[in-house]
Structure 1
Amino acid sequence: MVEKWLVALQVILAAIGVYQFTLSLFGIYRKKKHKEYEPKKTFAVLVAAHNEEAVIDALMENLKTVDYPKDMYDVFVICDNCTDNTADIVREHGWTACERHNPHQRGKGFAIEWMLKKLWEMPRQFDAVVMLDADNLVSPDFLREMNNDLCSGARVIQGYIDTKNPHDSWITAAYGVTYWYCNRLWQLSRTNLKMANFLGGTGMCFENQLLKDMGWGATSLVEDLEFTVRCVKNGVNPVFNYKARVYDEKPLTFKASARQRLRWMQGHFTVARRYFFPLLWQSLKERNLAKFDTALYTITVYTVLVTFLLTGYMWVDAALFNGPNFPTLYEYLPTWLAVVSVVATCAAFILALILEGVKSWRVYASLITFPIFLLSWWPITFYAFFTQNNKVWSHTEHTRVVRLDEVHGKQVS
């Protein structure tokens, strides 16, 4: 009986892998043109910040250079439990610093919920809300692109999350490869198939009325995924804007990266427990592929965990008991199929870099250490499973000050 369950698990994991790989192929094609509109929508740009005096200056400068009428957007920085000069720097640039002090409800989700209530009490009401992180930079056309999508009927929009420091370390390079892959062969493929895209925590835009109707309510450790699922459940599919770039600072060290990814996985387990089955039943009842795809994404954390456990079991069995002593899927499939699947997976990342026009030899050289980064998700996810009830937000310290003109040369050198 146990042997049958082991084979069944392997079949399910293989089916999910084939499904995701097939979807990724639809990201190869990119439509070059889309409808453009004159500036019509007004924006409240919210920036979540906790002790970000080292990097906030660059973003405040950057937002002054956005190619959009200055009277049609305003910037509000949420200085969440700050003990440094973040608020003073924001005010020096003429933007609004909103100071929040609540040591019992720490984290981005709580800060955003607090800020939205403040925003809705203000005399001026905006058409849409953009959310950024303090370490970000945005492309000059960012708000114009958000305006285009809003005028086209979109209500929730995710911009293209890029990295501003891919050459700092092998870890930042790994993040860069991951995000280029996800933008091209994950997000864009779902755009081409008219399915729901996934919010990435920054570079997000929301119709103000939708936020008022739904409420924020996303206070888990992965507020972006939680709000994505709530939107899809309510029939609102987030869209992806390929041209609206937001540049994010990635952790420099493996330790900082592991801590950040542990928080993501802890929060992912929470969202999976809360939303997978309701969304799955809803997708089957409505025969809605977008909802099914989103439900499947919520349990990605479990597929990573099960893959790790099965692989670990196989290695231990082979090393200590001269295995395999349990049935594997490969017994029923030709050997060449396993080789093809591994090669195809590796080729997908290289293809994504080529499609995205990455020319930096250092990025391609980083592919040598990239498998270490991928494999490190396994123990991180395993540990997250046993600590998933942790609700304490772990702040990622940002120190890398980069200006937009420096970012533009990152893929070439």
Structure 2
Amino acid sequence: MAIPLRALGPAIRAAEAAVLAISAYQSAVTLAGYLKRREPPQPPAAWRPRFALVVCARDEEAVVGRVVRDLLEQEYPAELRDVLVAAHNCTDGTAAAARAAGAKVIETSSPVPGKAWAIRAALDAIGEGYDYLGVFDADARVEPGMLAAVARRGPGAGCLQVETVPIGDPEWIAEGYGFGRRARNLFWWRPRESLGLGTTISGCGWFIRPALLREELPQVTTLTEDLELTVRLALRGVPVTYVSETRVAVGEARDLGTSVRQRLRWVRGHLLVVRRLWPRLALRAARGDARALDLALYLIAPTRMLTRLGASFAALHALLPVPAALPRAAALPVAAAEWTVPAVIAWRERLLSFNRRGFDLALRHSVLSLLWFPIGLWALLTAQVQAWTPTRRTTPEVPHGKPAAGR
């Protein structure tokens, strides 16, 4: 065993060093951003952008009316917002339900699946005169003050992403993934907001200048149009501004089969984005663009589960009397920070209650997070498959403007 390890020693040390470097970077960003807690700038009160609010819907008859009503009842001048539902490849009464709720509707179809086609149809239909186009999923719920919050952050921003939270579904799988969404907001996106780094477009609750979208959207080809568009914007120096002052509640898959298919599509799209755009992004990062560097690292390590396992393995390797290990002084502090920084922040922010329910939720989230590894492996073997299966919307009724999960 010692001889093969010695032969592989340089490669093992290089891999562990890379993992430790990324882990240390992520812990530093999380801690520094959490401690800074930058107050968002207040724009001139006179600036009131005009919004085109687009709901992308595919067979969403059961839920589309809720989000349309949420958007029509925003605490924002009615003459400065229009709601449009893009009923894309629908086979049910989505269009009729949207019209009944008060939205303008366009019915569109395409030979291939993907939300990008619905967004393109809406972009063609809205015409000129809008400052921002906002994109929403049909099963979302929106706080009444969302547009006012986006307007306060809008001047100078090319693209913005509102914080997304789980819709408050008690189903076992949905609640487990929903906890992960809240943890990601706390440990990942809000620290980057404080430090002035960009976020990623998250599929729902994002806003973009129409002229910018018209230039970039025709180039989008993957089924993860949100991630691909994020990278394309970064390549032209346009960050996605994170808006944590308001929230959009989104649903999670409620059964294992739907969840696996959904996440398989996400990982396949992620891998295609990495293959096609990462080299250009890395080159921009090498030229000194800190936001491009942050996004490039996210693309190769999109979850702390990867860095946590990698840093823990490197620390264990350093503690054992085997060759090819890195010095303990390098491995142990990084691994300790990987575990303790999120734990301390979670305790301070009361992300998880210290009782039986809290333990169950943490365990559930850990199990579901580990499922990313077999899903990722299968996606790697089938990366060229572009399949989109509609998700059945069976999320519980949530009162208007009341996303069930807090910050």
Shorter-normalised TM range: 0.7 to 0.9
* Equivalent residue in structure 2 for 1:344, among 309, 327, 340: 340
Residues 1:44 and 1:361: Cα distance change in structure 2 (over 3 Å): farther
CA distances 1:253-292 after superposition (whole Å, capped 9, x unpaired): 232222211111100000001111111112212x111111
* Equivalent residue in structure 1 for 2:371, among 350, 373, 376: 376
Q: Which whole-Å CA distance do the structure 2 matches of 1:5 and 1:243 have between them?
A: 45
Give the gaps of 5 or more residues in structure 1: 313-322
Give runs of aligned pairs for residues 195-274 of structure 1, distance below 5 A.
Answer: 195-274=197-276
- Equivalent in the alignment of 1:8: 14
Displacement of 1:403 after TM fit? 2.7
Residues 1:256 and 1:221: Cα distance change in structure 2 (over 3 Å): same
Displacement of 1:34 after TM fit? 4.0
Provide the TM-score with structure 2 as the length reference. 0.86
* Equivalent residue in structure 1 for 2:393, among 373, 391, 398: 398
Tell me which moved more, 35-44 or 269-278.
Answer: 35-44
Percent pairwise identity: 26
Give the gaps of 5 or more residues in structure 2: 1-6, 314-319
1:109 aligns to 2:111 (yes or no): no
Displacement of 1:229 after TM fit? 0.7
CA contact (8 A) 1:110 1:219 kept: no
Displacement of 1:239 after TM fit? 0.5
* Equivalent residue in structure 2 for 1:94, among 90, 102, 117: 102
Provide the TM-score with structure 1 as the length reference. 0.85
1:282 aligns to 2:289 (yes or no): no
Residues 1:359 and 1:243: Cα distance change in structure 2 (over 3 Å): farther
* Equivalent residue in structure 1 for 2:177, among 171, 175, 178: 175
Give runs of aligned pairs for residues 183-198 of structure 1, distance below 5 A.
Answer: 183-198=185-200
Q: Which whole-Å CA distance do the structure 1 matches of 2:377 and 2:278 have between them?
A: 19
1:47 aligns to 2:55 (yes or no): yes
Residues 1:33 and 1:194: Cα distance change in structure 2 (over 3 Å): closer
1:17 aligns to 2:23 (yes or no): yes
Q: Which whole-Å CA distance do the structure 2 matches of 1:410 and 1:192 have between them?
A: 22
Residues 1:278 and 1:302: Cα distance change in structure 2 (over 3 Å): farther
Displacement of 1:225 after TM fit? 0.9
Q: Which whole-Å CA distance do the structure 1 matches of 2:140 and 2:191 have between them?
A: 25
Residues 1:101 and 1:20: Cα distance change in structure 2 (over 3 Å): same
Displacement of 1:190 after TM fit? 1.5
Give runs of aligned pairs for residues 345-364 of structure 1, distance below 5 A.
Answer: 347=343, 350-351=346-347, 354=350, 362=357
Q: Which whole-Å CA distance do the structure 2 matches of 1:406 and 1:43 have between them?
A: 18
- Equivalent in the alignment of 1:300: 301
Displacement of 1:146 after TM fit? 1.7
Residues 1:253 and 1:202: Cα distance change in structure 2 (over 3 Å): same
Aligned residue identity for 1:49? A
Residues 1:283 and 1:184: Cα distance change in structure 2 (over 3 Å): same
Residues 1:175 and 1:305: Cα distance change in structure 2 (over 3 Å): closer
Residues 1:402 and 1:217: Cα distance change in structure 2 (over 3 Å): farther
Q: Which whole-Å CA distance do the structure 1 matches of 2:284 and 2:161 have between them?
A: 24
Residues 1:173 and 1:360: Cα distance change in structure 2 (over 3 Å): farther
* Equivalent residue in structure 2 for 1:136, among 133, 136, 140: 140
Q: Which whole-Å CA distance do the structure 2 matches of 1:283 and 1:335 have between them?
A: 26
CA distances 1:196-216 after superposition (whole Å, capped 9, x unpaired): 221111100011222234445
Aligned residue identity for 1:288? D
Residues 1:335 and 1:15: Cα distance change in structure 2 (over 3 Å): closer
Residues 1:303 and 1:346: Cα distance change in structure 2 (over 3 Å): closer
Q: Which whole-Å CA distance do the structure 2 matches of 1:239 and 1:301 have between them?
A: 18
Tell me which moved more, 273-282 or 251-260.
Answer: 251-260
Give the match's secondary structure for 2:116. Answer: helix
CA distances 1:130-166 after superposition (whole Å, capped 9, x unpaired): 000000011111111121222x311100001011124
Residues 1:324 and 1:259: Cα distance change in structure 2 (over 3 Å): farther
Aligned residue identity for 2:362? L
CA distances 1:95-116 after superposition (whole Å, capped 9, x unpaired): 11111122x2211122212321
Aligned length: 394
Tell me which moved more, 259-268 or 28-37.
Answer: 28-37
Residues 1:98 and 1:139: Cα distance change in structure 2 (over 3 Å): same
